[in-house]
């Protein structure tokens, strides 16, 4: 039920009528509340990836005062501390990439926001978990009329985005957070309302969905930025790199970047385990077979979540080139052909080897964190194979480029415990799928936390 533009009172009233009509049909004409509840849930889930796509093209930068670096351990290899969007270096990426003549360019700084929208599609797990108590969701989706409605939703969303976002050039005045906040907060409110309305069965679920939908439409009609009115426009200071040819250039090791991206993607995928479990419970409560549900919930969904995180990390570090131009160290992005940051080599007061990068240890590459007098945030020079050359060319005040020894006892114990945990979950899944699903959904995040802590213990003492 993608809504038309709410710029006029007539359009707003039409939208209200379209959303109230199912309630009249259910309570007055005996229509199926189950069908409408599932369709509304699908609409909320479909809106999230569309918001992610729209966010990629938003021309206004976000409010950078709200994008703070994480306060956690700088050696923590998963970068999980802090806000889910703010810590990403990609949020401050300058430049854009054209993809088609008929479309505006994509801004790489918007990728973390788009990933957040796609990742929020895990709300489908909450919807399935609750709806599965009184609706056979797989069977409902298999109904031809419902399947046709889902197809119509997707097509209508494409039309709305083209007509109201691209054709009207609304992307020129929109920030990525504006786009994502509306869809993700509407979905979150719908999930909370659904939890409270579960006692009402399918009719209660439908009332909850319609109430949240009408509230979002009303906010849109009022011309307000839905759920995030404090969002402001941010700016990035201009980067004045020396107008000179590079005398030295060092690039990240591509394989190290890819492996680190996959590793961080895997961590993100495992951390979202409870969402997969809720989706699995909702599907298996209906007519879906346990094996098919397991493939979708513990195979396809984690691959999507982890893949988004991996792409984000690869774009953050894989396209940079670190150069020495005159007396400055410059990070140049070969994809956007834009200078990202520059700092005089004499201003680098500290350069620290990041001991906690697992892939760097395995691939014999190095990542350095630079602290400069003129920069508010630390600068990263990541995954260098020619690290000795980089230290010499950039005059980095590094005490050592050699990793300290790990505590092999901690590493061995962590590997043994992790292997036993995986084997136990696999055994449970084979003998008791329900118990195995619970163990995988909740055991994965606890396992990640335990492995992070063990990794910190194994690192050399500072």
Residues 6+ apart with CB under 8 A from 155: none
Whether pTM > 0.75 for this model: the answer is: yes
CA distance 124 to 133: 14
Q: Give residue 440's Cα distance to chain centre.
A: 21
Q: Which candidate, 63, 37, 9, 75, places its Cα nearest to that of 458?
A: 75
At residue 324, the 3 state secondary structure works out as: strand
Which H, E and C letters describe 67-127, residue by residue? Answer: CCCCCCCCCCCCCCCCCCCCCCHHHHCCCEECCCCCCCCEEHHHHHHHHHHHHHHHHHHHH
User: Beta 328-333 vs 320-325: how paired, if at all?
Assistant: antiparallel
As a whole number of angstroms, the distance between CA 202 and CA 136 comes to: 11
pLDDT of residue 321: 94
The whole-number pLDDT of residue 383 equals: 95
Ranges of residues in the chain with a pLDDT under 70 are: 1-16, 18-19, 21-23, 26-28, 30-31, 64-88, 121, 196-200, 217-238, 374-377, 462
Q: What's the pLDDT score for residue 320? A: 94
The answer to whether the beta carbons of residues 123 and 188 sit under 8 Å apart is yes
């Amino acid at each position: 039920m993608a809504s038309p533009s709410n710029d006029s009172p007539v359009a707003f009233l039409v939208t209200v009528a379209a959303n109230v009509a199912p309630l009249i049909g259910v309570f007055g004409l005996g229509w199926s509340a189950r069908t409408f509840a599932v369709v509304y849930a699908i609409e909320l889930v479909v809106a999230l990836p569309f918001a992610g796509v729209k966010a990629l093209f938003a021309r206004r930068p976000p409010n950078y005062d709200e994008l703070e670096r994480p306060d956690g351990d700088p050696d923590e290899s998963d970068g999980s501390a802090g806000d889910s969007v703010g810590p990403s270096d990609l949020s401050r990426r300058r430049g854009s990439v054209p993809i088609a003549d008929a479309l505006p360019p994509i801004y790489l700084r918007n990728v973390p926001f788009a990933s957040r929208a796609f990742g929020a599609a895990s709300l489908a797990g909450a919807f399935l978990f609750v709806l599965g108590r009184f609706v056979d969701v797989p069977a409902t989706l298999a109904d031809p009329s419902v399947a046709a409605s889902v197809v119509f939703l997707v097509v209508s969303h494409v039309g709305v985005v083209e007509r109201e976002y691209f054709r009207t050039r609304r992307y020129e005045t929109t920030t990525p957070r504006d786009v994502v906040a509306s869809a993700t907060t509407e979905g979150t409110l719908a999930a909370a309302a659904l939890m409270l309305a579960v006692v009402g069965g399918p009719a209660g679920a439908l009332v909850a969905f319609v109430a949240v939908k009408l509230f979002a439409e009303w906010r849109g009609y009022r011309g307000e930025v839905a759920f995030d009115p404090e969002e402001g426009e941010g700016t990035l200071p201009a980067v004045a790199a020396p107008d000179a040819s590079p005398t030295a250039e060092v690039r990240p090791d591509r394989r190290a970047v890819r492996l680190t991206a996959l590793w961080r993607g895997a961590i993100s995928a495992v951390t979202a385990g409870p969402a997969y479990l809720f989706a699995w419970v909702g599907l298996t409560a209906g007519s879906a077979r346990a094996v098919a549900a397991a493939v979708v919930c513990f195979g396809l969904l984690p691959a999507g979540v982890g893949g988004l995180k991996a792409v984000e990390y690869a774009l953050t570090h894989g396209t940079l080139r670190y150069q020495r131009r005159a007396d400055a160290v410059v990070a140049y992005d070969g994809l956007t052909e834009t200078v990202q940051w520059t700092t005089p080599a004499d201003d680098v007061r500290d350069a620290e080897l990041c001991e906690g990068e697992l892939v760097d240890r395995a691939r014999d590459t190095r990542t350095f964190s630079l602290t400069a007098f003129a920069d508010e945030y630390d600068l990263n020079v990541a995954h260098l194979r020619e690290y000795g050359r980089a230290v010499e060319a950039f005059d980095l005040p590094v005490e050592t480029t050699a990793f300290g020894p790990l505590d092999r006892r901690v590493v061995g114990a962590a590997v043994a415990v992790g292997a036993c945990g995986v084997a136990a979950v696999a055994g449970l899944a084979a003998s008791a799928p329900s118990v195995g699903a619970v163990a995988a959904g909740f055991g994965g995040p606890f396992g990640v936390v335990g492995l992070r802590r063990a990794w910190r213990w194994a690192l050399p003492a500072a």
